[in-house]
Structure 1
Amino acid sequence: MRTVSVAETAPSTYPWAVHAEKLQVRAGRHLAVNELDLRLGTGVHGLLGPNGAGKTTLMRALATVLKPAGGRLTLLGGEVTGRADLRQVRRGLGYLPQHFGFYPRFTVREFVEYIAWLKEMPKAVIPGAVQRAVERVGLADRADSRMKTLSGGMLRRAGIAQAIVNDPAVLLLDEPTVGLDPEQRLDFRELLREIGLDSCVLVSTHLVEDVAVACTDVVLVSEGRLVWQGSAGELAQQGGTDDAGDSATERGYSSLLRAHRGRVSA
């Protein structure tokens, strides 16, 4: 069990864990996120969109890796736009990028401990928090194995462990199921549901069915803009038999994208 502070148990004073208004974020010279409005609260939110839609750039901005070029971004009640000191906000975040770095000779336990230290977790609680995170992703039996010896799926699970070690209020996962086998994906979906009970979780993925099963809310973006937001059930109702896809959810996704592209080109 992790010892929590009085500040962590105090009631939240913000209506949304993530609140973006007319958000603009650049990826190099390209404006990858353009005038995006987004509000996310407690629950598991799936982030969908075609390649080049701006999903990864948005995730990096929410993780405070990229600085917004315009608009307003508020995380956990604190406005981060133009802010120099982001340490307090970052203590409440967990982030798994598509490609994360690590020291190959670190063990899994050492890697997660190192990230906990970077997140400025109290020294006394780190060992227990690390053990719990490793157990939650099913790597307890490999906790003392070096990172360089892990398979691709195990590396991904170690990445998830470092993202959740501080029990973040906002958890950002970019393509977290890459490399996971079907059984591991089922376990991961259950973990998402558990974390989403009292945290805001945003999962970027190309696997529409993962969103349909695990997410309470779906966010669809294209060309850096919000196209649609609603429940997974509502997404499944958006498509018809003529839309591309092997399931109702995929057909709804295809239908919404096609309608958006029609409006843009009109």
Structure 2
Amino acid sequence: MNTGKESAMTSAVNAADLAPRTYAWEIRASGLKVRVGRKRMAVDGLDLSLGTGVHGLLGPNGAGKTTLIRTLATVLRPTEGSLELFGEPVRGSGELRALRRRIGYLPQEFGYYKRFTVREFVEYMAWLKEVPKADVPAAVQRAVERVGLADRADERMKALSGGMVRRVGIAQAIVNDPSVLLLDEPTVGLDPAQRLRFRELLQDVGQDTCVVVSTHLVEDVAAACTDVVLVTEGRLVFQGTPDDLAAAGGPEHVGDSPLERGYSALLQGTGQGKGSW
């Protein structure tokens, strides 16, 4: 005989949870172009396939990294080419709602309500992402604990340091246990110890999630990423492991580490490696 508890547990599992995975890549772009403003094509003919793991997105300022992240987050629409998330083409607004439930996104600068407590803000974001109401308290607690803010969960956002606010941003990005997690410069404002804990979190999340991390810090890529994607002028220059990136450079290239020298060598090949800050 089934108890009420057993019935409730059964009803909590929906068909989408049980459906087999039928797509090869969480993210797949072909000939992707995204225009910013009237003329500039910030992403210009990009071909990219990304699956489970932690992918470091590198490139100089103006390379199109933020535009690409915003497009993957469905904030921007492709101008030309195709973009698929979870095997589904990104098209009209009616289809975006279902895709967004499966995406976690932290922009470079995110807005928040200063009078909200940490818990209230992450709860609000869970509600926006349509996390089932019964699951919200546990999901919020878990997200806050994973970023090391359980002891500050009931403090108001306005009382937090910049680094703590950034960690709340990471918490709201993971509260819905996303299948794709998009982080744009997530370590800005974090101190060295916090960055180490963040790398550990990336490695944990990346075991069953497609994580894309845009960063200028090559050491973060070396420590946490399984894959490196290098873009410049909106085009893909390189995709491979951190070891592959390190092997691309030599002692004649600029950099304090093999990864930085590999990065410099690849940019030099595109004409972007010299004469700029």
> TM class by shorter-chain length?
over 0.9
Q: Cα 1:212–1:9, aligned 2, differ >3 Å: closer, same or farther? A: farther
Q: Give 2:27's match in structure 1, choosing from 7, 18, 23.
A: 18
- Shift of residue 104, structure 1, vs aligned partner: 0.5
Given that residues 23 and 37 in structure 1 are in contact (C-alpha distance below 8 angstroms), is that contact kept between their aligned partners in structure 2? yes
Determine whether 1:112 maps to 2:122.
yes
May I ask how many residue pairs the two structures share in their alignment? 261
Which letter maps to 1:234? D
Match of 1:48 in 2: 58
Match of 2:110 in 1: 100
- Shift of residue 83, structure 1, vs aligned partner: 5.2
Q: Cα 1:181–1:67, aligned 2, differ >3 Å: closer, same or farther? A: same
Determine whether 1:169 maps to 2:179.
yes
Deviations 1:95-130 (A, max 9, x none): 000000001000000100000000011000000000
For normalisation by structure 1, the TM-score amounts to 0.95
Determine whether 1:157 maps to 2:167.
yes
Measure the CA separation in 2 of the matches of 1:187 and 1:35.
36
- Shift of residue 6, structure 1, vs aligned partner: 4.2
Which letter maps to 2:116? F
Q: Give 1:28's match in structure 2, choosing from 27, 34, 37.
A: 37
Measure the CA separation in 2 of the matches of 1:54 and 1:20.
14
Identity among equivalent pairs (%): 69
Match of 2:244 in 1: 234
For normalisation by structure 2, the TM-score amounts to 0.92
Q: Give 1:250's match in structure 2, choosing from 260, 269, 275.
A: 260
Deviations 1:213-233 (A, max 9, x none): 100000000000000000011
- Shift of residue 85, structure 1, vs aligned partner: 2.8
Determine whether 1:74 maps to 2:84.
yes
Please state whether the residue corresponding to 1:219 is helix, strand or coil: strand
Q: Provide the aligned C-alpha RMSD in A.
A: 1.4
- Shift of residue 10, structure 1, vs aligned partner: 3.3
- Shift of residue 8, structure 1, vs aligned partner: 2.6
Measure the CA separation in 2 of the matches of 1:8 and 1:203.
26
Deviates more, 1:93-102 or 1:4-13: 4-13
Please state whether the residue corresponding to 2:220 is helix, strand or coil: helix
Please state whether the residue corresponding to 2:270 is helix, strand or coil: helix
- Shift of residue 260, structure 1, vs aligned partner: 1.9
- Shift of residue 12, structure 1, vs aligned partner: 1.2
Given that residues 74 and 81 in structure 1 are in contact (C-alpha distance below 8 angstroms), is that contact kept between their aligned partners in structure 2? no
Which one has the largest radius of gyration? 2
Measure the CA separation in 1 of the matches of 2:256 and 2:14.
47
Which letter maps to 2:23? Y
Measure the CA separation in 1 of the matches of 2:17 and 2:189.
34
Which letter maps to 2:73? A
Which letter maps to 1:180? L
Structure 1 residues not aligned, in runs of 5+? none
Q: Cα 1:247–1:4, aligned 2, differ >3 Å: closer, same or farther? A: farther
Deviations 1:46-91 (A, max 9, x none): 0000000000000000000001101000001110034543111110
Given that residues 67 and 82 in structure 1 are in contact (C-alpha distance below 8 angstroms), is that contact kept between their aligned partners in structure 2? no
Determine whether 1:223 maps to 2:233.
yes
- Shift of residue 26, structure 1, vs aligned partner: 1.6
- Runs of 4+ with deviation above 2 angstroms: 2-6, 8-11, 81-85
Measure the CA separation in 2 of the matches of 1:63 and 1:98.
13
Which letter maps to 1:140? A
